[in-house]
A and B are shown apart, each in its own frame.
Chain A
Amino acid sequence: MGILPDEIKPAMQGVIPSHVVTCSRDGAPNATSISQVYYVDPDHVALSHQFFNKTVRNVRENPRAVVWVISPETFDAWDLEVEYDHSETSGPVFEAMDMQIEAIASIVGMKGIFKLRAADIYRVISVTKNVDERIPLPDIDEPAGRR
């Protein structure tokens, strides 16, 4: 039995972008959105390494990161504390991510710009479901009260 619950899987299908925050060795946080967090197994997720960007550089200096994901079915959201483990440039995880990135690139008009260099694999340290941070679905358009 791993850390990631089954109910989190829809949040990792790339329907709604996720957020990732990392921190450099000299203490500068970095906040960005990513198209998809990939479910690898109950204890690991993968993030796409497409550009040698700040997120990629940061986790090679300081492996800790936080990832926020949300389900497009229930709109439940989770915070994941993760730690960068290794990168894969071939194999089933890389191939699956590569296909999905190609598909996303076609949909959003980024074909030729989105290109997977590596699947960065992260170990999941903790998962916390957001509680009291989402307005219940029946109440989202109510004009009054705590929101």
Chain B
Amino acid sequence: MIPDRVVELLHGPAFMQVGTRDAHLRPAHAWVIGAVVHADRQTVTFFVPESRSARVLSDLQDNGRVALGLGLASHEAYQLKGTYVSSRPTGAEDIALQETYRTEWLAAALQAGYPDEIARPLIRGFAYRPGVAVTFRVKEIFLQTPGPGAGNKMA
């Protein structure tokens, strides 16, 4: 089960990135604009821009291995690892959620001290539609906040 704090960050203004790998163990990266934790607290859907989804989806169809990293400007960070379930194009409901996420993410970055001339173009400049919703089942959760507990398995 995903802990409350991690759910809060997944639904809130954490920056997120997904990692996958191909059959030759070559890694791939995409940034993530918004995520939803399902009612079972074990399944997560995240959104990647279609323009950056081809390699990630190819990897997921090949081997299903997913790593989703998330963190705040304070360096509080976590990583979820699991197995691919499905993907689909994003719809109106997803896009509305992404709009809210982008607004909250920018507000959090400004509150953390990022100057507007960097935070605004950085965050609002991420293309996000058309997008792809990727669903995976979380198997492991790791603390990644720098410090003595970094890398510890939480669940």
A residues near B (Cβ < 8 Å) are 15-17, 19, 21-23, 25, 27-33, 50-51, 53-54, 62, 64-66, 68, 70, 72, 75, 79, 81, 108, 110, 113-114, 130, 132-135, 137, 140-141, 146-147
Among A28, A29, A50, A130, the one with the most B-chain Cβ atoms within 10 Å of its Cβ is: A29
Give the B interface residue count (CB, 8 A): 44
**B146, A32: Cβ atoms under 8 Å?**
no
Given contact pairs A23-B26, A75-B125, A110 touches B146 in the complex (Cβ within 8 A): yes
Cβ–Cβ < 8 Å partners of A62 in chain B: 25
Q: How many A-B residue pairs have CB under 8 A?
A: 123
* Nearest CB of chain A from residue B69's CB, rounded to whole Å: 4
**A19, B68: Cβ atoms under 8 Å?**
no
Q: Tell me which of B18, B28, B71, B128 contacts A33 (CB under 8 A).
A: B71
Q: Tell me which of A27, A113, A114, A132 contacts B127 (CB under 8 A).
A: A132
* Nearest CB of chain B from residue A146's CB, rounded to whole Å: 7
Chain A: CB-nearest residue to B73: A108
Docked complex Cα distance between A81 and B27 (Å): 9
**B27, A23: Cβ atoms under 8 Å?**
yes
Q: Tell me which of A31, A70, A72, A113 contacts B19 (CB under 8 A).
A: A31
